Amino acid sequence: MTIYFTNVGIHKHKIKHVLEGALKYLHQPFRQIEMSLSIVEPEEITKLNKQFRGIDSVTDVLSFPTLDLGKAQLTPDNYPSDAVNVKTGKLNIGDVIICFERAKEQAENYGHSLKRELCFLALHGMLHLLGYDHVEEADEKEMSTLQEEILTKLHITREKR
C-alpha cells in the first residue's frame, strides 16, 4: 500500500500499519492500492465539509472515494481504468482528511491516546473509501464492529498511553 501523507507528523508509521492491516483483514490487494491522507486545521475541514456536504461546521474526518464499487472485493478485473494511477499502476481509492484539533479533543473526551484516535479516524475514513457507510443502522453496526475487530487485532486499544 502506498499512502501519500500531508501534514502527518506524528504516528505516521502506526497509521500506515493500521491501514495495511485493515486491507489484509478485508482480503483486499493491499500492495496494489494507494490513497492520500491529510491532517488539516479546523478551518480547512469546515470549508471542505460545507463545500462537499453542505454542513457548515468542523468535523473529525472526511473521505473522498474515487471508486463506487460498494463493498466489492477489489481485483485488477474490476479496477476502473480512470482510478489507476498511470505512474504507479496502483488503484487510487481516494483521499482521507482528518482534523487534528478535533482528533485531539476526541481522544481527550474518550479517554484514550491521540495515536488511537488518529488510527481510528484513518481507518474509519479508509472504510468509507472502500464502500462502507453508517447511514442505516445495520450498516453502522457492521462498520463499528469491523473497526473494533481491526483495531483490536492490531493492538490499538482504548487505554491511555
Domain boundaries, the chain: 2-153
Q: What is the pLDDT of residues 89-132, one digit of tens each?
A: 899 999 999 999 999 999 999 999 999 999 999 999 999 999 99
Residue owning grid cell 484539533? 101
Q: For residue 130, which amino acid is it?
A: L
Q: What is the pLDDT of residues 57-93, one digit of tens each?
A: 999 999 999 988 777 777 777 777 778 888 998 999 9
The answer to whether the beta carbons of residues 44 and 7 sit under 8 Å apart is no
Residue 79: count of CB within 10 angstroms of its CB = 18
Cα 161 to Cα 63: distance, rounded to the nearest angstrom: 27
Q: For residue 31, which amino acid is it?
A: R
pTM: 0.93
Residue of 32 and 45 predicted with greater confidence: 45
| CATH number belonging to the domain at 2-153, selected among 3.40.50.450, 3.40.50.460, 3.40.50.1820, 3.40.390.30 | 3.40.390.30
Reading the block at residue 42, the C-alpha cell is: 479546523
| pLDDT value at residue 160 | 63
Cα 124 to Cα 112: distance, rounded to the nearest angstrom: 17
DSSP 110-156: HTS-HHHHHHHHHHHHHHHHTT---SSHHHHHHHHHHHHHHHHHTT-
